[in-house]
Amino acid sequence: MLNSAEISMLLEATGVSVYMTLVSTLLAYVIGLPVGILLVVCAPGGLKPKTVLHKVLDIVVNITRSIPFLILMLLATPLARAITGKSYGANATIISLTLAAAPFIARLVESSLLEVDRGVIEAAQSMGAGTFAIVKKVLIGEARVSLIVGSTIALGTVLGYTAMSGAIGGGGLGDVAIRYGYSRWDTKILLATVVLLVILMQLIQFAGTKLSRKLDRRLTG
Amino acid sequence: MEPMIKIENVSKTFRGKENTVEALKGITLEIGAGDIYGIIGMSGAGKSTLVRCLNFLERPTEGTVYVEGRDLSAMSEKELRRMRTSVAMIFQHFNLLMQRTVLDNVCFPMEIAGVPKKEARERARRYLEIVELSDKEKAYPAQLSGGQKQRVAIARALAMDPKILLCDEATSALDPTTTRSILALLKEINQKYGITIVIITHSMEVVQEICTRVAIIDAGVLAESGTVEEVFASPKSKAAKRLVFQGERKVALMKSKRCVRIVFTENSSFEPVIANMVLECRASVNILLADTKDIGGIARGQMVLQLPEDEQTAEKMIAYLKERNLAVEELTDYVE
């Protein structure tokens, strides 16, 4: 069995993983949400079509999304060092996690907002609503369930990234798995990190599903 | 008197990558204050585009629209948005916010216009009372029937005290009974609050039921316009004839013998006109088509009768019908 030192190390690593996941997803939404909104609003046939801006955002999102996460992390090291003062550890990893997750989140937001019925948007326009009001009250208001489902997916993906970041000096469960499980062949600890990651993922999914069900007014029963 | 809406030479062309579609071609029309104005046409005739030009959700390629004498094409975005608060709109698919309660849906336009929340709620409750949905204020649209959803949409449309209500196929997704109750509600709103109503529809029945005037749009062109009685009693354009005889393909059969179409507009429902005519002339007629109904004690609708071969009797019958103030039209030229 695991001794108490190992248990406290695993618990601490779990805390670090949760911290990295939550903070970087949150920061990624700060970038990804407005970009996702702009992708919808500025699209041809959108509320305020802006062809050039849309094209530029579209290409930037595609490029950042096509760089594999580990490589993006390496590329982001100088930036992480500039911001956090270190090139390794949880906080430095958060920078590259944020950069990796933001374009993904922009796409998730875009697809959620595109689901909103065009008729409802037109109804709001017929009432004299401006673009800002439509984005806030119609697009986000009506797509909120889909946005929550999207954020559940984003959290799960970022949790996976945090584990991967352990390979090159990130913190948390991935780091423990690499140092003990891979470098020292300590299968016990390797398995424990897997179990903990599975539990975290289940919790995220459970909470996300529960919340979106609770908020969805389209379900009658 | 200044018309409420003046449509002046409006054309709208949609330019796609491969083809351009001329949805509207030089439409000119005046809609008076307090009218219930029907704009009718087959699918694809351009009527939905036309109604969107009335609040500039679609900007005409040529021509312009005046609402209460103000030229919409001269307005800035901001002025257009302000104008839209007095031109409400309801839709075929209701277009309610599915994540909001009925009450919050009715509050929505007031929220956009910056009406304080408390006042908005009070006003919304008043409008829900008018549409008889006070007991549903906490319900969500998904829990309502089609007719109830359209009532919520009507309450929402009334919320900003509009001068004009645009209805885009507002009853097309509803069953006949619900359609009638929604039309009755629209009529009540028109009479009580003096709101000018524009009804876009493909159904002649809807026009007959509540409209005072009607315009027929065919392939983007205004085919005919006038009072509903005029157009229904003696349709001139081919498009009008097609709509009046909606779905009646048997008309071709009537060509062989002498047939007349009679239109009921002001006769009492209690007077058995045809039966009396038969008794009076002592000859039988064949009723080929009958589509009449009782609207408030007045018979409305049309019939197509095949008259006896005997010229004299036929003439006598026509004279009898005309004497009874029925519009009689010989069906000689109408073939689909």
The correct answer on CATH 3.30.2320.30 for the domain covering B5-235 is no
- What gap in Å lies between CA B216 and CA B230, rounded to an integer? 12
Q: Which of B88, B112, B166 sits opposite A129 (nearest CB)?
A: B112
Query: Which residues, including other chains, have CB under 8 Å from residue B68's CB and lie 6 or more apart?
Result: B2, B4, B163
Q: Which of B82, B88, B99 sits opposite A141 (nearest CB)?
A: B99
**Residues on chain A touching B89 (C-beta within 8 angstroms):** 123, 126-127
- What gap in Å lies between CA A86 and CA A80, rounded to an integer? 7
Check if B5-235 and B247-330 are the same fold: no
- Judged by average pLDDT, the poorest of B68-82, B89-103, B267-281 is B267-281
Q: How far is CA B128 from the centre of its chain?
A: 24
**Residue B336 confidence (pLDDT):** 36
Q: Do A120 and B97 touch (CB under 8 A)?
A: yes
Whether the predicted pLDDT of B253 surpasses 70 = no
Share of chain A above pLDDT 90, in %: 71
* Residue B256: band (very low, low, confident or very high) from pLDDT cuts 50, 70, 90: low
- What gap in Å lies between CA A55 and CA A61, rounded to an integer? 10
Helical (H) or strand (E) element with B9 = strand B5-15
Whether the predicted pLDDT of B92 surpasses 90 = yes
Whether the full predicted model's pTM is greater than 0.90, yes or no, is no
Mean pLDDT of B96-121: 95
* Residue A221: band (very low, low, confident or very high) from pLDDT cuts 50, 70, 90: very low
CA distance A220 to chain B (A): 6
Mean pLDDT of A16-34: 96
With 0-12 / 13-18 / 19 or more C-beta atoms within 10 angstroms meaning exposed / middle / buried, residue A39 is: buried
CA dihedral B294, B295, B296, B298 (to 10 degrees): -70
* Residue A18: band (very low, low, confident or very high) from pLDDT cuts 50, 70, 90: very high
Residue in chain A closest to B54 (alpha carbons) equals: A126
* Residue B247: band (very low, low, confident or very high) from pLDDT cuts 50, 70, 90: low
Give me B3's structure tokens: 């018309």
| Beta strands at B36-40 and B20-31: parallel, antiparallel or unpaired | unpaired
Q: How far is CA A6 from the centre of its chain?
A: 30
Mean pLDDT of A188-193: 92
Rounded to 5°, the CA angle B18-B46-B53 comes to: 100
Q: How far is CA A146 from the centre of its chain?
A: 14
- What gap in Å lies between CA B288 and CA B256, rounded to an integer? 13
Residue pair B330/B260 in contact by the 8 Å Cβ criterion: yes
- What gap in Å lies between CA B220 and CA B20, rounded to an integer? 13
* Residue B334: band (very low, low, confident or very high) from pLDDT cuts 50, 70, 90: very low
**Residue B262 confidence (pLDDT):** 85
* Residue B285: band (very low, low, confident or very high) from pLDDT cuts 50, 70, 90: confident
* Residue A77: band (very low, low, confident or very high) from pLDDT cuts 50, 70, 90: confident
Is some CB atom of chain A closer than 8 A to the CB atom of B172?
Answer: no
Read off the pLDDT of residues B173-197 as tens digits, 9 standing for 90 and up. Answer: 999 999 999 999 999 999 999 999 9
Whether the predicted pLDDT of B335 surpasses 50 = no
- What gap in Å lies between CA A217 and CA B104, rounded to an integer? 13
- What gap in Å lies between CA B165 and CA B189, rounded to an integer? 10
Read off the pLDDT of residues A123-181 as tens digits, 9 standing for 90 and up. Answer: 999 999 999 999 999 999 999 999 999 999 999 999 999 988 888 878 899 999 988 88
Residue A69 vs residue A53, higher pLDDT: A53
Q: What is the ipTM of this complex?
A: 0.87
Q: Do B96 and A120 touch (CB under 8 A)?
A: yes
Residue in chain B closest to A126 (alpha carbons) equals: B84
Read off the pLDDT of residues A102-125 as tens digits, 9 standing for 90 and up. Answer: 999 999 999 999 999 999 999 999
Give me A48's structure tokens: 């305020």
By three-state DSSP, how is residue B69 classified? coil
Read off the pLDDT of residues B1-30 as tens digits, 9 standing for 90 and up. Answer: 789 999 999 999 998 888 888 999 999 999
Residue in chain A closest to B100 (alpha carbons) equals: A217
**Residue B331 confidence (pLDDT):** 74
CA distance B184 to chain A (A): 23
Is some CB atom of chain A closer than 8 A to the CB atom of B113?
Answer: yes
Per DSSP, what are the bridge partners of residue B301? B264, B292
| Complete domains list, chain A, with CATH | 4-215 (1.10.3720.10)
- What gap in Å lies between CA A188 and CA B247, rounded to an integer? 79
* Residue B216: band (very low, low, confident or very high) from pLDDT cuts 50, 70, 90: very high
Whether the predicted pLDDT of B224 surpasses 70 = yes
Residue A87 vs residue A7, higher pLDDT: A7
Residue pair B328/B293 in contact by the 8 Å Cβ criterion: no
- The distance in angstroms from the start CA to the end CA of chain A is 48
How far from B133 is each of A120, B103, B148, B174, B190, CA to CA, in Å? 21, 10, 8, 17, 19
For the B247-330 domain, the top CATH level (class) is: alpha beta
- What gap in Å lies between CA B27 and CA B62, rounded to an integer? 10
Residue pair B52/B80 in contact by the 8 Å Cβ criterion: no
By three-state DSSP, how is residue B76 classified? coil
**Domain edges within chain B:** 5-235, 247-330
Give me A69's structure tokens: 């996460």
Per DSSP, what are the bridge partners of residue B102? none
Query: Which residues, including other chains, have CB under 8 Å from residue A187's CB and lie 6 or more apart?
Result: A181
Q: Do B83 and A124 touch (CB under 8 A)?
A: no
- What gap in Å lies between CA B80 and CA A127, rounded to an integer? 10
Scan for tokens 């009529």, then name that residue.
B187
Rounded to 5°, the CA angle A46-A48-A52 comes to: 90
- Judged by average pLDDT, the poorest of A6-10, A194-198, B69-73, B263-267 is B263-267
Q: Do A128 and B85 touch (CB under 8 A)?
A: yes
DSSP tag of A115:
T
DSSP letters spanning B311-324 = HHHHHHHHHHHHHT
How far from B25 is each of B37, B58, B235, B279, CA to CA, in Å? 20, 14, 21, 51
Rounded to 5°, the CA angle A87-A91-A97 comes to: 90
**Residues on chain B touching A133 (C-beta within 8 angstroms):** 112
**Residue B238 confidence (pLDDT):** 83
Which residue of A125, A127, A140 is the best one to mutate when testing the B interface, meaning the one whose CB has the most B CBs within 10 A? A127
